[in-house]
Amino acid sequence: MNRDTLLPPGQCLSVPGCWDGFSALLIEQAGFAAAFLTGGGLSMARFGRPDMGLVSMAQVAETIAVITDRISIPLFVDADTGFGNALNVVSTVRAFERAGAAAIQLEDQTFPKRCGHMAGKGVIGLEEALGKIKAALDARDRALIIARTDALQVEGFQSALDRADAFLEAGADLIFIEGPPELSQMQAIGARYGAQVPLVHNLVEGAVTPVHDAATLAALGYRVALHPLLLLHGLGKLGPQLLARLKADGGTQAIAGDILDLKAVSALTGAPDLTAQAARYA
C-alpha cells in the first residue's frame, strides 16, 4: 500500500473500527477509505471480554481473512504487542500479511496488555520495543508498520518522545503516541513529527485525550484518526433498548422503524449479487 496516496499530507483520515465481516461491510458501504480491526473491539464483541490481551494471534489472523475476503478497502490491524517477543512479531506480521492486512499496529506494552486508556498498564524497555519494530519491518513484504508507544502514561512525555524518535529512525511507516491528555502535548507531537511521518491518534469515546475530531487533528499535524469502538459503543447502547422493547411487547412491530428487516439485511450483505452469480453457474 502506498502510504502517501492513502494518507496525503495536510489531511486526516477517519478510520472506524470493526471486528467481523458485517461491521467492516458497514464501514465500506458508508464510504470510508479504510477500516480498522480493533483488538479491543474483537475481544469485546466476539468474546464478551475486556481488552486485556485475551485474544490470540491465530484468532486475529482468522478475523483478518474473513474481513478482507468481504471488503475491498484497506484494513488496518491491531497486533497488540505482537503476541510475544521479536520472533513472535515476525510470525505475526507474516500471518497478518497473508490474511490481507494493509497496515499492522504494534505497541510496547507488557503482557497482559490493556486498552491504551485503562489504568495499570506497563511498557517493556526501549531496546526490546525497538527490536520488535525492527523485526516487524524486516518481516513485512508490503504492509505498513504502525509503531505505537504507551509510555506516556507509564514513564512520562519525554520517554514517549524518545521511543517515537527511535521507532522513526528504525523506519516505522506511522507513529502513534497513545493517550496524550493535554492539548499542549499533542501540539508538541504534531510539531515534532507531523512533517516527517504520518501520526496516528485514537478517538475513543470516554477516553483521556482533549481532541475529538479529525479536522482538529489535521490542524495539529496528525493524518490518521482511529475510531476503534464507535460501532461497538453504539451497539452496546442501542442493543439493550431493542431487547427491552422485545421483552416488554413480545414482538418487534413497535420498533420496526428503528431496525432493518430480513430483506434489507440480505441486500446489504450481498444476496442479490450471490443469486446472480449462482444463476450464471446453473
Mean pLDDT of the chain: 95
Mean pLDDT calculated for residue range 138-166: 97
| Grid coordinates given for 6 | 492513502
pLDDT of residue 219: 97
pLDDT at 147: 98
Task: Indicate the length of the chain as a whole number.
Answer: 282
Contact 149, 121 (CB under 8 A): no
What's the average model confidence in pLDDT over 158-174? Answer: 98
Query: Is the confidence at residue 119, as pLDDT, over 70?
Result: no
State pTM to two decimals. 0.95
Residue 145: the pLDDT is 98
pLDDT given at position 272: 93
pLDDT average, residue stretch 251-270? 96
Summarised one tens digit per residue, pLDDT across range 32-70 is 999 999 999 999 999 999 988 889 999 999 999 999 999
The pair phi, psi for residue 93, each rounded to 5°, is -60, -45
Which pLDDT band, with edges at 50, 70 and 90, does 156 fall under?
A: very high
**Using CA atoms, how far apart are residues 109 and 123, in angstroms rounded to an integer?**
4
pLDDT at 52: 86
62-102: per-residue pLDDT in tens? Answer: 999 999 999 999 999 999 999 999 999 999 999 999 999 99
Query: Does residue 142 carry a pLDDT above 80?
Result: yes
At residue 208, the pLDDT reads 87
Res. 165: pLDDT tops 70: yes
Residue 180 has pLDDT above 60, yes or no: yes
pLDDT at position 118: 61
Quote the pLDDT of residue 114.
Answer: 64
pLDDT confidence tier of residue 115, bands split at 50, 70 and 90: low
What percent of the chain shows pLDDT beyond 90?
A: 92
**Phi, psi dihedrals of residue 109, rounded to the nearest 5°:** -75, 160
Closest of 88, 28, 15, 103 to residue 58, by C-alpha: 88
- pLDDT for the residue numbered 121: 83
Count other Cβ atoms within 10 Å, centred on residue 137: 17
**pLDDT tens-digit series, residues 2-19:** 898 999 999 999 999 999
Quick check: 104 and 110 in contact, CB under 8 A? no
